[in-house]
Amino acid sequence: MTMTTITPRKPAKTTTSRRRSDLDDKAADRAKLAAFAATIGAARTSLKRDACGDWILIGLTGHVSTNSAALYAVITCASARAWNNAKSRLSFATVTQDGDTEGVLRLDLPLTSADAETVRTTLRIRKARAMDEAALEALCAARQRSKFAPC
């Protein structure tokens, strides 16, 4: 009697091919979120990609994403009371998903400057630093003097 060993097959390599329209949609989503980030005064480093490769505007308590038609704010709070307070602060937005301590709000554009500031502070998105020419040159000079400068 002979024994045969069966070796498991390796799965076939699959490549994910993206359609041209997917890439165009992602570029359009990035442009839309970049314009929104400029409106609310968010830092440029707040605009990042998520695990799926979609562009989002990151904050400490949530993020803003888009589906090419509208902007959505996803908020995660520590308690039900904090979530209710966030909903009341963002009363100009439409609640699309309402959980116990988290939810999703659709941001109907255009926003006033006060509404934009409220979105940024509620989601705790980092604020962009306003710099004039003199401050920018001083910062560049300080970076060049640093021994940790990349150049």
Of 132 and 80, more confident: 80
Q: Residue 142 — pLDDT band, cuts 50, 70, 90? A: confident
Mean pLDDT of 13-17: 57
Amino acid at 54: D
Position 14 pLDDT exceeds 60 = no
d(CA 61, CA 14): 36
In this predicted structure, what is the pLDDT of residue 67? 87
Backbone phi, then psi, for 54, in 5-degree steps?
-80, 150
Greatest mean pLDDT among 11-15, 35-39, 144-148 = 35-39
pLDDT score of 79: 94
DSSP letter at 123 equals H
The alpha carbon torsion through 58, 109, 40, 100 (nearest 10 deg) reads -40
Nearest-10 crossing angle of helices 113-123, 80-89: 160
Assess whether pLDDT exceeds 90 at residue 133.
Answer: no
Residues 6+ apart with CB under 8 A from 102: 74, 75, 76, 77, 83
Indicate whether 20 pLDDT > 60.
no
Who has greater pLDDT, 4 or 71?
71
Q: What is the pLDDT of residues 64-89, one digit of tens each?
A: 999 888 899 999 999 999 999 999 99
pLDDT for residue 141: 87
